């Protein structure tokens, strides 16, 4: 059995980490560089940083922050937001990014998935899918930070991005995001059933049992969370201990809680 991963996520807007509920009412939660270092020391398996504003005018500042983060942490770093062409991925790779996260850019330019996968390998490419529940067993893909409906079926899109070369899917339930009511297990398991690449469950973490359910009932390969970590409700060490006690194989035994 492959070890499951615990991934904190930093949503960055105008140089600061923010968090909201269902993609709205964003609150400032801290400096991305300082928070990245904390999660590196806390035993996170990976870190994801998403530029949710992704404005061209602020791109240079965001890339500079990514370089500062990669200089300070040792865990793999996945970066997304504003990747619209191969050159954007090349720029992030040049400052130490380990994985690229494509969201709206993948939807508007599906060929970009193939270009990045061909150049850097599928293992470096995560496609982010923001899903909103529409009917029983039916979820729709949203883009532009959850602002734009596409009319596209999530299951169909997940299968397509896999066929185009994505190595992993970040699957976010917009309905559960920030609610702390638990991951959408039906959504997660449905996508996991449809593809052969790893699926990262996102949206809704609030209790230790939620992480366990996403990895067992939802069959996710990794769990991503933000507010649960940002607000100190649970540490990564506590979550890994809980999962291990319930028979889930997790990465890493060595955790340095020091600062």
Active site positions, annotated: 11, 130
Are the C-beta atoms of residues 214 and 183 closer than 8 Å to each other? yes
Q: How far apart are CA 34 and CA 49, in angstroms?
A: 13
Closest CA to 74 of 45, 35, 99: 45
User: Which alpha helices (H) appear in 26-178, and where do they start and end?
Assistant: 32-42, 59-72, 86-94, 104-108, 111-120, 154-164
User: Which alpha helices (H) appear in 181-235, and where do they start and end?
Assistant: 185-194, 208-216, 227-230
Q: How far apart are CA 62 and CA 15, in angstroms?
A: 7
Q: How far apart are CA 255 and CA 234, in angstroms?
A: 15
Distance between alpha carbon 6 and the CA centroid of its chain, in Å? Answer: 10
Q: Which residue has the tokens 């770093």?
A: 77
Q: How far apart are CA 74 and CA 152, in angstroms?
A: 37
Closest CA to 255 of 42, 24, 84: 42
**SS3 of residue 259 by DSSP:** coil
């Amino acid at each position: 059995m492959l070890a499951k991963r615990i991934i904190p996520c930093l949503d960055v807007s105008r140089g600061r980490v923010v968090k909201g509920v269902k993609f709205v009412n964003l609150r400032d939660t801290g400096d991305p560089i300082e928070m990245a270092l904390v999660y590196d020391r806390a035993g996170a398996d990976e870190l994801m940083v998403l530029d949710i504003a992704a404005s061209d005018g602020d791109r240079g500042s965001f890339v500079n922050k990514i370089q500062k983060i990669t200089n300070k942490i040792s865990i793999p770093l996945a970066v997304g937001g504003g990747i619209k062409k191969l050159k954007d991925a090349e720029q992030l790779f040049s400052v130490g990014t380990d994985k690229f996260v494509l969201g709206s850019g993948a939807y508007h330019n599906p060929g970009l998935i193939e270009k990045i996968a061909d150049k850097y390998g599928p293992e470096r490419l995560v496609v982010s899918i923001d899903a909103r529940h529409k009917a029983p067993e039916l979820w729709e893909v949203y883009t532009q930070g959850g602002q734009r409906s596409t009319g596209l079926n999530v299951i169909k899109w997940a299968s397509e991005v896999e066929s185009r070369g994505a190595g992993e899917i970040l699957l976010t339930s917009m309905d559960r995001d920030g609610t702390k009511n638990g991951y959408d297990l039906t959504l997660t398991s449905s996508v996991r059933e449809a593809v052969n690449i790893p699926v990262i469950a996102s949206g809704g973490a609030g209790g230790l049992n939620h992480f366990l359910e996403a990895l067992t009932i939802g069959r996710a390969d990794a769990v991503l969370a933000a507010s649960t970590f940002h607000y100190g409700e649970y540490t990564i060490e506590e979550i890994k201990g809980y999962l291990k006690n319930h028979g889930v194989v997790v990465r890493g035994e060595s955790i340095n809680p020091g600062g």
